[in-house]
Structure 1
Amino acid sequence: MSGGSESTDEALWLLVVNGDGDAFGRLFDRHRDRVLRHALSILGSAHQAEDITAIVFYEAWRRREYVRMVNGSIVAWLLVTANNTIRNHNRQRRRYEAFLDQLPPPAVGADVADEFADSAGRDAEATALRAAFWRLKPRDRDVLTLCVVEGLSIRQAASALAIAEGTVKSRLHRAKTRLGALYRGLDPDRPLTDQTLHQGRIL
């Protein structure tokens, strides 16, 4: 297959829907790094981000007949799926941690807290932003991901999320306000700016 219109996401996806693994591989190569960066900025763990990225593309192949294109691109679908996958991952982790809390405590050993003191504080701001982000509702996380991080227009985000443009606008405003309130613990009517989101590496 040559370049041009035959190599667009939309054209390749028509082949993927019919089971073309080579076309899917081309799309994987094209968008894998973008999904990985998104997952890494949220999770802060390269290993976990790799796992999430693999799951996202597995879901893309498994649900290939239901993938929604936005302006001929699959990126918005991939990123929203990444958010959903991370949410499920965090839910499973919390269940696991709750299980561990029920186990008897280990024998007392050497205090290793000092060993990690410096690294614990190094990324405190980014950690706080990520924690605030994941306290938001899924729909708020998705609209921030698409409109703030990826820079999609209101119309494009509305298409990706299958909602009205007016709903995107109001949801985006509320999501920024809620995130700002959660992050700073200040006046809930004071929004967090897009620049702060990027500088804080929340997304």
Structure 2
Amino acid sequence: MGNVESCDDGLWTRSLKGEGEAFGVLFDRHRDRVFRHAYRLSGDRHDAEDIMSMAFLELWRRRAKVRLVGGSVLPWLLVTTTNVARNSGPAAFRYRRLLTSLPRAEDVSYVTDDIYLQVDMDRDAAQALGTLNDLDLQLVSLVVFEEYTLAAAAAVLDLTPAAAKSRMHRARQRMKTALSGAVPSSPNPTPALKGERS
């Protein structure tokens, strides 16, 4: 494939038409960032590999419902990675069984060792992220780790900019509390304010 497209739009359209090579280019383009995100959330290299695989499997399984943001499938993948990481307990066995049944080429390396060296996330930070509810975790992931603007992350998550700003502030406070060793006042994160989701 001599001319690699800079946006995901064309590759995604071709993937939907059954071009496996186009889907492979999307995988190669985004796997490192999806892996790093999965590692941040899980704190474990092997779990991160599984989560990454599940996220790409979901991308294909739900392809009819995938919405590209700014010409990229990456925001959808990052949100899905967050959800997969949160739900990896009960569903992990089912996905692992499915993934092990898929054929693999001997010479394919899905994640290179240098990616592991780039990731420096300790278990305390992963546990601090674990104190956030799903929506706040997705927001923090997009803004802090993936460096999307707050407005872009709000659009991906179907929040108003004001709601995203408020949620971001509360999420940062909750994480600071968790990292300092103080126990949050309640085991459940602050519920969404009325009107935050459209």
Q: Residues of 1 paired with 2:51 and 2:28: CA distance? A: 16
1:17 partner amino acid: L
1:104 match: none
Q: Residues of 2 paired with 1:134 and 1:18: CA distance? A: 38
* TM-aligned CA deviation for residue 19 of structure 1: 2.8
1:3 match: 3
Give the TM-score, by structure 1 length: 0.69
Q: Say whether the 8 Å CA contact 2:139–2:153 is kept in structure 1.
A: yes
Q: Say whether the 8 Å CA contact 1:69–1:160 is kept in structure 2.
A: no
Cα distance change on mapping 1:92 and 1:54 into 2, 3 Å:
closer
1:156 match: 152
TM-superposition CA deviations, 1:26-58 (whole Å, max 9, x none): 100111111111112332222111111111000
How much is the aligned-residue C-alpha RMSD, in angstroms?
2.3
Radius of gyration: which is bigger?
1
Q: Residues of 1 paired with 2:2 and 2:129: CA distance? A: 41
Which residue, out of 114, 133, 146, partners 2:129?
133
TM-superposition CA deviations, 1:63-113 (whole Å, max 9, x none): 1121122211111111111111011114668xxxxxxxxxxxxxxxxxxxx
Q: Structure 2: any 5+ residue segments left out of the alignment?
A: 93-120, 185-198
1:64 match: 63
Task: State the percentage of identical aligned residues.
Answer: 42
Give the TM-score, by structure 2 length: 0.71
Runs of 4+ aligned structure 1 residues displaced above 6 Å come to: none
TM-superposition CA deviations, 1:123-151 (whole Å, max 9, x none): xx922221121121011111100011111
1:194 match: none
Cα distance change on mapping 1:92 and 1:56 into 2, 3 Å:
closer
Q: Residues of 2 paired with 1:28 and 1:164: CA distance? A: 31
More helix as a share of residues: 1
2:125 partner amino acid: L
1:199 match: none
Is residue 146 from structure 1 mapped to residue 145 from structure 2 by the alignment? Answer: no
Q: Structure 1: any 5+ residue segments left out of the alignment?
A: 94-124, 189-203
